[in-house]
Chain A
Amino acid sequence: MSGRVVFPNKLLPYLLLAPQLAITAVFFYWPASQALKQSMQREDPFGLQTTFVGLANFRRVLADPNYLNSVKVTAVFSLSTAFLALALALPLAVMAEKVVRGKGIYRTLLIWPYAVAPAIAGMLWLFLFNPAMGTFSYLLRANGVAWDPLLKDGQAMGLVVAAAAWKQISYNFLFFVAGLQAIPRSLIEAAAIDGASGPKRFWTIVFPLLAPTTFFLLVVNTVYAFFDTFGVIHAVTQGGPGKATETLVYKVYNDGFVNLQLGSSAAQSVILMGVVILLTAIQFRYVERKVHYG
């Protein structure tokens, strides 16, 4: 640890921080405080009548079996999406590293899907697998698969997980490639000389040394699955069938913007905010320590 760097000018550091602080204040603190305020109110959709109800909205939300169902759905969805996105990106990155000719082309092609917006990714998968018009739906049905994600919970969940993970593979791929390049060749060569086989070299050297990248991606992917997949779910299933794919974030939207229960919706966002703060804190405090940073 070196000594603290001190700015000679007292005002300059604050000035340099100001834009970032302003953005955080406008886009985070202000809306968050509004959500906090609204979570303790009962209000009609148009905001004409407002009453303070204390913690009643929170009590109602936590006692709602649909909310608990949504917690379960979110856990299944987030874990599956993060796992699938990571498990597919890693072999792709390892393989792309081994390619000698045209490395750039392979990489570019694999990174491309990241440029697709979540809602578009959802639409793309919907067009392929929609039971009314999807190309693959016809193929599946023609081959005797009872494909109907509009009614079958598991298929609907599979579809949104696939769409959400597909989009994220590129991002993970990019970071894994960078992580792989940071692993010293000498370690792998030394192991090869010692007679370690390809898989053995991967599991004993490459995989552990990639742990910081994997950990970082795990956090990013979980946060992505929690919060950024609204577009995918809205486009593909809208939370259905029943409530089989209604994640916590989708429920916030549905209760607030479809059912117009603003108090309950705000209470859910506040809970969600608490969950994220807690999750991030735990991950960085405990999990990160165990990661081997080389």
Chain B
Amino acid sequence: MKFRGIPAVIAAVAALSAASPALAVTEISWWHAMAGANNDVVEALAKEFNEGQSEYRVVPSYKGTYPETLNAGIAAFRAKQPPHIMQVFDVGTGVMMGAAGAVKPVAEVLAYGGETFDKSKYLSGITAYYSKPDGTMLSFPYNSSSPILYYNKDHFAAAGLDPEQPPKTWPEVFAAARQIKASGAANCGLTSTWLTWIGLENFSAWNNLQYGTEENGLASTDFELTFNSPLHVQHFQNFADLAKEEVFRYGGRTSEAKALLISGECSILTESSGGLGDVVNSGLNYGLGSLPYYPEAEGAPQNTIPGGASLWVFAGHEDADYKGVAEFFKFLSTVEIQSRLHQVSGYLPVTLEAYEATKASGFYEKNPGRETPILQMMGKAPTANSKGVRAVNLPQLRDIQNEEFERMLAGQQSAQQALDNAATRGNAALQEALGK
């Protein structure tokens, strides 16, 4: 009842912000979900673009978390006041793809600026994820990330572990975490952000396990979740056991656990490479490692799947506006900008040229660990299990998984029950979302 009003409010705000400037410059609104260090990067990019030319002005607005930004955009579209550009997180991709009439494919937008989208210039894992099955590129990859391991070097030293040798496999991680807790070097040995994205989606790809049939939903929207295999269960049971021993500490459903590493409460964290900015800013004596895997998994480590977000362009704007958007995207894909984005934020460079340029500059020698997310994603040709995960209602599937994980970590159910429930409930929700 109450919340029927929200779209109207958002629309009113959008209308106000759209109506204010009657200047000659064309305003391009950019709604995003970047907080903290990454917000500074967004602001700096817009400023640089605006100062570099006089025809267009990009106006970034922070709209909250990823899901909040997506909802704000949808509400604005329904109220016929959509922004030009909206940043949509990886799992929102399926939602946006279902809205064919609402978005303008990025390939079409670039044509307004006299450009064509040359896929060969971009990292293939990323372009494949943001394309339709027929290959049409739909959105512009802005920030792509891959989950990696962060750890506190001081804690490692205090616990008698080698601070220069991050654990490589999950059994090693668990042993290190127990040692840290037992030695009193920290209150908590291990934590993780995004148990869904890292613990389930990337865990499956990295260990070459099936998340769902039909190439995890990439080949067809109508698929079945199969992430309750024995190794999945074993992995989550390990987390449940560690939670019981108070070695693992749960931080929350999205990236809240990052604060537990930064505050020195926990020693080891698995988190998006995009979280690096805040860790660097905190002044922590941190180390980086690859995402751990299980040695018994066949083919592991395979490859990780892209996370992060891409920029979608809404339909229904003036041609002149699209020209501005095209100019902005051109600006974003320059080698200089991409290299800098990658080096300051920890997100992956989306073009191959930017990767090569960063490599040639000697950045990776000076900053060990920073190439890790790229190598993880590009190291091996993807299998049917590791191309990505796509579902029309992935945000909802993740919600269901989070609820089951929380019940498991609270000791109310076993990992087997949690994953079985998450799969059963998820499959029912997926069928409902497909309108069956």
Contacts and interface: CB of A to CB of B under 8 A. Distances in A.
| Chain A partners chain B | yes
Interface of A: 27, 31-32, 34-35, 42, 44-48, 60, 131-133, 141, 148, 150-153, 227, 230, 238, 240-243, 249, 252-254, 256-261, 269, 272-273
Given A132-B265, A242-B403, A257 B435 contact: no
A35 B4 contact: yes
B117 interface: no
B62 to A, nearest CB: 17
30 contacts: A31-B5, A32-B1, A32-B4, A35-B4, A44-B99, A45-B74, A45-B99, A46-B101, A46-B102, A48-B99, A48-B100, A132-B260, A132-B265, A148-B250, A150-B251, A150-B406, A151-B406, A238-B253, A240-B403, A242-B403, A242-B404, A242-B406, A242-B407, A253-B3, A258-B71, A260-B71, A260-B74, A260-B95, A260-B393, A260-B396
Contact of B3 (A46, A131, A256, A273): A256
B367 interface: no
A128 B253 CA distance: 20
Nearest to A265: B3
Interface string B242-269: 0100000111110011011001010000
B426 to A, nearest CB: 12
A260 to B, nearest CB: 7
B251 A241 contact: no
Interface of B: 1-6, 67, 71, 74, 77-78, 95, 98-102, 187, 243, 249-253, 256-257, 259-260, 263, 265, 393, 395-396, 399, 402-404, 406-407, 409-410, 412, 429, 432-433, 435
Given A133-B263, A150-B406, A258-B67, 8 more contacts: A32-B1, A151-B406, A242-B403, A260-B71, A260-B95, A260-B396, A269-B3, A272-B1
B95 A240 contact: no
B251 A259 contact: no
A56 to B, nearest CB: 11
Given A240-B253, A252-B1, A273-B1, A46 B410 contact: no
A46 B79 CA distance: 10
A183 to B, nearest CB: 37
Closest 9 CB pairs of A and B: A241-B406, A259-B396, A31-B4, A151-B410, A269-B1, A46-B99, A46-B102, A242-B403, A242-B407
Given A45-B95, A48-B99, A259-B393, A151 B409 contact: yes
A144 to B, nearest CB: 12
A259 B399 CA distance: 9
B435 A227 contact: no
Most B CB contacts (10 A, CB to CB) among A44, A132, A151 go to A132
A226 to B, nearest CB: 10
B4 A269 contact: yes
B410 A241 contact: yes
Given A46-B78, A151-B410, A133 B259 contact: yes
A132 B254 CA distance: 14
Contacts of A31: 1, 4-5
Contacts of B395: 258-260
A27 B436 CA distance: 35
Contacts of A258: 67, 71, 395-396, 399
B2 A230 contact: yes
A242 B402 CA distance: 7
Contacts of A272: 1
Nearest to A34: B4
B1 A35 contact: yes
B399 to A, nearest CB: 7
Contacts of A48: 99-102
Residue in A230, A259, A261 with the greatest tally of chain B CB atoms within 10 Å: A259
Nearest to B4: A31
A44 B435 CA distance: 10
Nearest to B411: A151
Contacts of A45: 74, 95, 98-99
Contact of A257 (B3, B77, B410): B3
Nearest to A254: B399
B396 A132 contact: no
A259 B139 CA distance: 22
A35 B102 CA distance: 23
A37 to B, nearest CB: 11
Nearest to A256: B3
A34 B432 CA distance: 23
Contacts of B263: 132-133
Contacts of B257: 132
A150 B99 contact: no
A133 B412 CA distance: 25
B431 to A, nearest CB: 12
Contacts of B71: 257-258, 260
A230 B5 CA distance: 14
A35 B4 CA distance: 7
A51 to B, nearest CB: 8
A240 B1 contact: no
Given A132-B259, A150-B251, A258-B396, A227 B101 contact: no
A42 B435 contact: yes
A89 to B, nearest CB: 25
A168 B396 CA distance: 33
A248 to B, nearest CB: 10
Contacts of B393: 259-260
A249 B1 CA distance: 8
Contacts of B6: 257
Contacts of A141: 187
